[in-house]
């Protein structure tokens, strides 16, 4: 090895290390920014920064884990939804057109997320059980839909108060669709007849900037 090669080798190694660190920082910045904005979202006016289709709930709202039951009579914990982005709707067991439309839209939106399919779940809260058998017939077209009712020891008033939490500016959104984030926060709402493609666009944006769920 010549003297010139010996002198140049440390310089080349230094340049190589610098290039490596620059590449690492460039790849890491989007993830760092996503984490920062996600976990500090209450400090920003996202409505002024984005063209979201739905209504952003600010600050986000977390629900108490009241006693609930799945439609198959097994115990259900609201916290079991944590870890995924969850599309939520509420309706009665008669499940008229708006109810059926929401079940359909939530299924199609989840399918349309493509490779993010497994990061999204769906939940439907029944306000009554009077027509539970006919509702089960409707439900046959929507596998993996989690349907929830109050547990036997949960009073009607407690359940009603729980469901009233799915509101916008203190007003209930009847027959709407809502999004709960992977941390269990209610953070976005859509009115009845909201277009599936608009909800999908918002959800895809959330999935792309979030590194959780």
Query: For residue 47, is pLDDT > 60?
Result: no
pLDDT of residue 33: 47
What's the pTM value of the predicted model, to 2 decimals?
A: 0.76
Is residue 147 within 8 A of residue 70, CB to CB? The reply is yes
pLDDT of residue 18: 67
Would you call the peptide bond into 59 cis, given omega within 30 degrees of 0 as the criterion? yes
Q: What is the pLDDT of residues 90-132, one digit of tens each?
A: 999 999 999 999 999 999 999 999 999 999 999 999 999 999 9
Higher pLDDT, 161 or 4: 161
Q: What is the pLDDT of residues 62-97, one digit of tens each?
A: 998 999 999 999 999 999 999 999 999 999 999 999
What are the extents of the domains in the chain? 1-39, 46-209
| Average pLDDT of span 175-179 | 95
Going by C-beta distance under 8 Å and a sequence separation of 6 or more, which residues neighbour residue 206? 85, 179, 181, 188
Query: Which SS3 state, helix, strand or coil, does residue 3 take?
Result: helix
Q: Name the percent of the chain in helix, strand, coil, to the closest 5.
A: 45, 20, 30
Q: CA 195, CA 104: separation in Å to the nearest integer?
A: 12
Dihedral pair phi/psi, residue 85, rounded to 5° = -85, 125
Domain boundaries 46-209, corresponding CATH code:
3.40.30.10
Q: CA 148, CA 91: separation in Å to the nearest integer?
A: 11
């Amino acid at each position: 090895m010549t003297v010139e090669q010996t002198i140049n080798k440390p310089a080349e190694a230094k340049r190589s290390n610098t290039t490596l660190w620059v590449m690492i920082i460039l790849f890491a910045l989007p993830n760092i920014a996503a984490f920062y904005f996600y976990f500090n979202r209450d400090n920003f006016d996202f409505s002024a920064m984005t063209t979201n289709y739905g209504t952003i709930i600010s600050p986000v709202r977390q629900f108490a884990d009241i006693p609930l039951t799945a439609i198959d009579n097994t115990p259900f914990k609201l916290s079991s939804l944590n870890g995924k982005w969850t599309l939520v709707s509420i309706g009665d067991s008669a499940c008229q057109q708006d109810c059926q439309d929401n079940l359909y839209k939530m299924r199609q939106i989840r399918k349309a997320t493509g490779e993010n399919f497994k990061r999204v779940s769906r939940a439907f809260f029944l306000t009554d059980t009077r027509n539970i058998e006919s509702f089960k017939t409707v439900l046959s077209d929507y596998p993996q839909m989690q349907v929830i009712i109050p547990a036997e020891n949960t009073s009607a008033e407690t359940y009603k108060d729980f469901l009233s939490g799915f509101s916008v500016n203190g007003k209930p959104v009847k027959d709407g669709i809502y999004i709960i984030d992977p941390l269990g926060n209610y953070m976005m709402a859509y009115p009845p007849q909201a277009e599936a493609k608009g909800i999908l666009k918002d959800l895809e944006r959330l999935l792309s900037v979030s590194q959780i769920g």
